[in-house]
Amino acid sequence: MVASVVLALFILTKTTASLQWYVGRRSNVASVVSVSPCDIDVDRQNGEANLRPIVGVLAEELSHPVAPQFGNATSYLDAAYVKFLESAGARVAPVFVGRSDDYYVDIVARTNGILLPGGGVSLTRSRFAAAAARLLAAAIAARDPYPVWGTCLGFELLVVLTANATTPSDNLLRRCQSENEPSKLVPTDSFHSGDSLLARDMPDDVYRIITTQKTLANYHRKCLTMDSVAAYGLDSFWHILAMDKDQNGVEFVSLIEARDFPIWGSQFHPEKVMFEWSMRVNSATPHGAAAVRAMTYLAQFFVAQTRANGNKFHSRKEEEAALIYNYKPEYVGKESIDYKMQQVYLFYDDLQ
């Protein structure tokens, strides 16, 4: 099932009318979604921006290390991603795994963007991966530009799904060691080319912070190298914006942006800087003012993109039923549990 979705994805990137439409509007869209607050306010006055964006965040089935701590829950969502998006002015709708194709098409039709979070499940055999593949295909097929952001596992899944391969495989990722490792970005020529929406309007102070200070929170054991980018044709779909190095000096891709769609991925965790405080696992996470400023920019940038999407739920009742406000987060970072996340939303019997 996932393989067929990936094949459809490749076809869409080459033939769908939405590709030509988005490419034709890219420069115009950029002016609408500029991350400058003043520019955004002007566009709101012209009625060109969505003032009530809703971003879907994909839940994840419980991986083995997590399951014993959360009882009968069938899936979960790290509350840090919810706070990350809310801090920039978006509302959040949880997106469940194990649902029908129509469910994911409807999610993309009613929300204004999707965030694929980090986690610990399989990139090829999990319900999370299958759901992400369907969401990505629907996002690319959407006529109104539909923003997608992938963080850590979400980043890795984006590159697996867009690799030039007949079936999705995580073989393109090599083992590395970047756990609890603060770092800084090394921008590539693509970052400075003027083709990246993310890079083009980045404030000077944010650029200085992320390139000169260790303000990025890394928690991954798989890396995308430039050898794999070349071998799997990933540079035809992505701008490789920045690199980084793991604890053993392995150079890996850290930040990407799709060439023809509003899709971004970061191997690092922007949300942890503001919202994760575990001393057992996240002891080296940067929490200083500079790190918060830079990661807040990324939240504001992505939410700004969602304001260019005009999707809506059919009714207020339907919209309210979909929001995260219907669920209560659990405090799992306290000493008695001491989990790596501070708060999670737990979902029960949501797999259908």
Given the residues 38, 152, 192, 220, the one annotated as active site = 152
Contact predicate 116/58, CB 8 Å: yes
Q: Which of 86, 90, 83, 150 is nearest to 305 (CA)?
A: 90
Is 176 tagged catalytic?
Answer: no
Q: Which of 252, 83, 14, 19 is nearest to 155 (CA)?
A: 252
Phi, psi of 242 (to 5 degrees): -155, 155
Joined together, the tokens standing for residue 326 give 């219907």
Amino acid at 170: D
Given the residues 64, 223, 269, 314, the one annotated as active site = 269
Q: Which helix (H) or strand (E) holds 135?
A: helix 127-141
Phi, psi of 72 (to 5 degrees): -90, 10
Bridge partners of 243? 186, 253
The separation between the first and the last C-alpha atoms of the chain, rounded to the nearest angstrom, is 16
What single DSSP character describes residue 170? G
In sequence order, what are the residues at sequence separation of 6 or more whose Cβ sits closer than 8 angstroms to the Cβ of residue 92? 54, 55, 56, 57, 81, 82, 85, 86, 323, 324
Amino acid at 190: S
Amino acid at 175: R
Q: Report how many helices (DSSP H) and strands (DSSP E) the chain contains, helices first.
A: 13, 14
Joined together, the tokens standing for residue 255 give 């930040």
Is 220 tagged catalytic?
Answer: no
At 336 the three-state DSSP class reads: coil
Bridge partners of 76? 60, 346
What single DSSP character describes residue 63? P
Q: Is residue 226 classed exposed, middle or buried when 0-12, 13-18 and 19+ CB atoms within 10 A define those classes? A: middle
Q: CA 118, CA 157: separation in Å to the nearest integer?
A: 10
- The catalytic residues are 152, 269
